[in-house]
Structure 1
Amino acid sequence: MSEHQNAEHGSKSSSSSLSSSVPESDDDVTIGTLLAEAKKTSERSLGKRLSHLDSIPHTPRVNGKIPDVDNATLDHERLFERLKTYGLAELQVDGDGNCQFRALADQIFRNPDYHKHIRKEIIKQLKEFRKNYEAYVPMEYKVYLKTMKRSGEWGDHLTLQAAADRFGAKICLLTSFRDTCLIEIIPKDIPPTKEFWLSFWSEVHYNSLYAVDDLPTRVAKKKHWLF
């Protein structure tokens, strides 16, 4: 898929404040309340142990072709070896099409089940700051938004950029790419104030990333994304 030129950035910051007065669904909680609770959690950074790795510039893009079984297996083995090499572990999230949003929810709230809140905030970002993103979408932008709004629709590298912008965070991906171990996604208009760490099995699955000794203990669920 060809890369698109960077979209023109507006003078208005693309990192929007998340008001605790806006009601959200499910458990009668608000995104603001969740973020306030998340801030109480002691921050941890995996950056030091991976500081020697070179990262590549991030270009937002929609999802590419899913690799065939053989290539996907090789990619997964490569990712597994990298996790072992750097003393990292994945908190496995459901592969129900919401894995990127679940992994981000775990990094922010320590609870993947808040993925709906993450998706809503990302869609808001994509709508409110359209001119920052639409040049990367090779289809009608309204169609892209309508599709991405649905639960179960796979997140892509554009939604990752929107998440970085929305939450003022650097998103670090440990990848299965043969030539790229680490990708860093930086907010466009403001310095990042936090880091989110995800693993990325290329075009297949995202998980939340921890140091081995920090990995939370949770009940594993069936992984629908496995071949």
Structure 2
Amino acid sequence: MTERASDASLDAASSSSSLNSSFREMEDDHTIADVLAEEEASNAAFNGNVMLTKRLSHLDSIPHTPRVVGEIPDSTEASLDHERLSERLATYHLEELQIEGDGNCQFRAISDQLFRNPDHHKTVRKEVVKQLKHHKKFYEGYVPMKYREYLKKMKKLGEWGDHVTLQAAADRFGVKICLVTSFRDSGYIEIIPNGGSPQKDLWLSFWSEVHYNSLYDKGDVPSQKPRKKHWLF
């Protein structure tokens, strides 16, 4: 009698777990559907990106090699890097939409470029992790740790994105990511999606190993509510 009761409890727990999983998947699907609807509604805003890309089509990019987060610079080096990036942005007549520095900045910046709203970063992260999980062969060789542990880490909110997740985002959303960086010798990097022509161009700034922001032509940065925290001096 006890054994049957135990089996019944296990079956009930399993059923409950399956239902919870189904509800979570349904909620995720609804969230993604809402975000995609928002993207369609804001497609007109991408005319600015098209013009920006045409204006900066002369920039020479270097081949992109996906990699995980490197060594964090000390305060002196970070200050010099930030100054170098600011000078590049001024030269290219670009302006940053300041993204919250909560560990999700890469995903927030991509969300802003995709949907004109940085608050969909959770959806962007989920889609990037799905891409990494389902196309392991494309990315595993660039990850210097057990791949399962890398996926587990990247699922967590607040975990910093890297150049592997940038490539996965380009692949998942079918976009070219145009990255203006603070690197001394590689100030402009293009991340091209594998297996197809990009449908859109996303413009991000990268203050090396510190922070990502969303880029616009100077004077075109949309108004925003004050953020809690930014990576600014």
Q: What TM-score comes out, normalization by structure 2 length?
A: 0.83
What's the offset of the Cα at 1:37? 2.9
Give the structure with higher Rg (CA).
Answer: 2
What's the offset of the Cα at 1:38? 3.8
The residue type equivalent to 1:180 in the other structure is: S
Q: Is the 8 A contact 1:96 1:225 kept in 2?
A: no
1:177-192 matched pairs, under 5 angstroms? 177-192=183-198
Paired position in structure 1 for 2:67: 61
Once the two structures are superposed, residues 71-124 of structure 1 have per-residue CA deviations (whole angstroms, 9 ceiling, x without a partner) of 000000001111111111000010000000000000011111110010010011
Describe the SS at the equivalent of 1:196.
strand
CA–CA distance in 1 between the matches of 2:74 and 2:135?
A: 35
Paired position in structure 2 for 1:39: 43
Paired position in structure 2 for 1:149: 155
Describe the SS at the equivalent of 2:28.
coil
Runs of 5+ consecutive residues of structure 2 not aligned to the other structure? 1-24
CA–CA distance in 2 between the matches of 1:148 and 1:37?
A: 29
Match of 1:195 among 195, 201, 206: 201
| Residue 131 (structure 2) pairs with residue 131 (structure 1) | no
What's the offset of the Cα at 1:221? 1.8
1:40-119 matched pairs, under 5 angstroms? 40-44=44-48, 45=50, 46-119=52-125
Length, aligned pairs only: 207
The residue type equivalent to 1:217 in the other structure is: S
Identity %: 62
CA RMSD of aligned residues (A): 2.0
The residue type equivalent to 2:43 in the other structure is: K
Runs of 5+ consecutive residues of structure 1 not aligned to the other structure? 1-20
Q: Is the 8 A contact 1:23 1:30 kept in 2?
A: no
What's the offset of the Cα at 1:224? 4.9
The residue type equivalent to 2:160 in the other structure is: W
| Residue 168 (structure 2) pairs with residue 167 (structure 1) | no
Q: Comparing 81-90 with 153-162, which one deviates more in the overlay?
A: 81-90
